[in-house]
Structure 1
Amino acid sequence: MSDLPPPPAPGFGAPAAPPTGRQPGGLLDRFLARLIDGILLGIVNAVIVSAIIVGAVMGDSGGLYTASTYAATAVSAVVSTVIYVGYFAFMESSRGQTVGKMVMKLHTLGPDGGHPTLEQAVRRNIWMGAGILGLVPVLGWFSGLVELVAVILIAVGINNDPVNRQAWHDHFAGETRVVKET
């Protein structure tokens, strides 16, 4: 027998053992994962879109607002949408994680507990495609506002659901969930 006293019960001076398994992904972890992905995708997108715009401007000497400038803007809007929505949809449906989620130890789960289907992942991330509004001259200016509103609604939804941490985009995608490995 040991002469040491038994350890105190949890809640009485000793920390409780950390929970094991999967817990709903919290707002801060999910934000940091999106930030990491946003930085990576922003660099890729900037390089590609800059090449498109520079090519259009170098090939056109007709002024600031011309058909080729509009074409470059339209192509850039489509390319940006494909990059952002495509990345998240492909990574979440094939791996259940993006690079940011890998860093933060988060997983996106479909309604059945496995990876979401490609359709579910597209539906979950469709809000990131607001840049496609750039195809319509005046509406393109509002694409950033649409994405900001979507992000705010997602943050409020995650914060207001302390049990599952799901927001409108998770429900729209058929009840997907983001969980953290603990």
Structure 2
Amino acid sequence: MTTGPGDQRSDGDEETRDPGGAGGGQYGGGQYGAAPYGSPEYGAPGQGAPDYGAPGYGSSDYGSQPYGSPDYGAPSGYGNAYPPPPPAGGYQGYPTGANQMSGGGAPGGLAPRFGARIIDSLIIGIPMLIVQMIVGAAFGVGQALLDNTSPGIGYWVVSSIIAIVFAFAWTAYFVWFETTKGQTLGKQLLHLRVVGASGGNPTTQESLRRNGYVVLGSIGMIIGIIPFVGAIISWIIDIAMLVIVIVIAVTINGSPTKQGKHDEMAGGTRVVTTQ
């Protein structure tokens, strides 16, 4: 039987007979680009794969908040790159001023402040009396200094030196401790400290102003060495100091911040507790 050219084939020619047919080869067949261009399935993701551009694409946390929402841009824990939010009430700044001391900062009351002043007076007064007795005994006028009599020129020389030294020591005690430590020894024992107008330790000018009556008393000590007139002036100064102390006590007791008249004159210094 005679066959035509189209009827002659072998099994090995089956792959080349219809390259684009349903039997398909590897090129152009059903495995490569099976979905024609423009069909609904063209470019669709495989089954089970997340949709491209969906909120969870690539990471469950990435872009989880929609644009425009109140929490958009808030950290979602990715990489922990953002610092934790500040605590309620904000961060607490570091205290300024030299030699700041910890404490509650409540205003110091009249009673502990008065007690601290008595302690300071004893701390400086007792050594001054001891030095006076030693110096007086060394110059043979010790008993005269105690009795406040005038046996001669030696008494006036010794008493003048002692009065001048003690006057400066009395003022320097309060000014030095307040400006460098913020508290005298008496205030330290009773847990008080002086705060300057700017919040740190008082300045030298502030300390001199708030201890003006101490300065006045020191001047009275020096003037008191002048015969006759000095004694009268010293007595007047003592009365003036008593009036000043009463005014300070009344103003401290009547102030909600426990600031006395001397604190007001010093520009707004305060005495606060340290515990």
- TM-score (normalizing by structure 2): 0.52
Alpha-carbon contact 1:49-1:80 (below 8 Å) kept: no
Q: 1:12-161 counterparts in 2 under 5 A? A: 21-58=104-141, 64=150, 66-129=152-215, 130-134=217-221, 135=223, 136=226, 137-138=230-231, 139-161=233-255
Secondary structure, aligned partner of 1:107 = strand
* Superposition CA RMSD, Å: 2.4
The more displaced of 134-143 and 75-84 is 134-143
Tell whether 2:248 aligns with 1:165: no
Structure 1 residue matching 2:211: 3-state secondary structure:
helix
Alpha carbons of structure 1 residues 54 and 145: separation in structure 2 relative to 1, 3 Å: farther
Could you tell me how far 1:121 is from its partner in structure 2?
Answer: 1.1
Give the Cα separation in 2 of the matches to 1:85 and 1:171: 19
Equivalent pair of 1:170/1:176 in contact (CA under 8 Å): yes
In structure 1, how many angstroms separate the alpha carbons of the residues matched to 2:268 and 2:152?
Answer: 45
Q: 1:51 to 1:122 in 2, by over 3 A?
A: farther
Structure of higher CA gyration radius: 2
Structure 1 unaligned spans of 5+: 1-19
C-alpha separation in 2, matches of 1:110 and 1:46: 32
Residue by residue over 1:136-166, the C-alpha shift from the partner in whole angstroms, topping out at 9 and shown as x without a partner, is 42312334323322221211111121x1111
Q: Structure 1 length as normaliser, TM-score?
A: 0.77
CA contact (8 A) 2:168 2:218 kept: no
Answer 1 or 2: which has greater helix percent: 1
Q: Which whole-Å deviations, capped at 9, do the CAs of 1:76-123 have from their partners, x for residues lacking one?
A: 322222121101100000010111111111110000110001221122
- For residues 237 and 137 of structure 2, the distance between their equivalents in structure 1, rounded to whole angstroms, comes to 22
Structure 2 residues not aligned, in runs of 5+: 1-102
In 1, the alpha carbon distance for the partners of 2:158 and 2:265 equals 32
Q: What is the DSSP-based 3-state SS (H/G/I as helix, E as strand, rest coil) of the residue aligned with 1:178?
A: strand
Amino acid at match of 1:41: I
Contact preservation (8 Å) 1:131, 1:143:
no
Question: RCO higher in 1 or 2 (8 Å CA, sep ≥ 6)?
Answer: 1
Specify whether residues 149 and 100 from structure 1 end up closer, same or farther in structure 2 by C-alpha distance, changes over 3 A only.
same
Partner of 2:269: 176
The size of the alignment, in residue pairs, is 160
With over 3 angstroms needed to count, the CA separation of the structure-2 counterparts of 1:150 and 1:77, relative to structure 1, is farther
Displacement of 1:36 in angstroms is 1.2
* Contact 2:183-2:194 within 8 A present in 1 as well: yes
Q: Percent identity?
A: 33
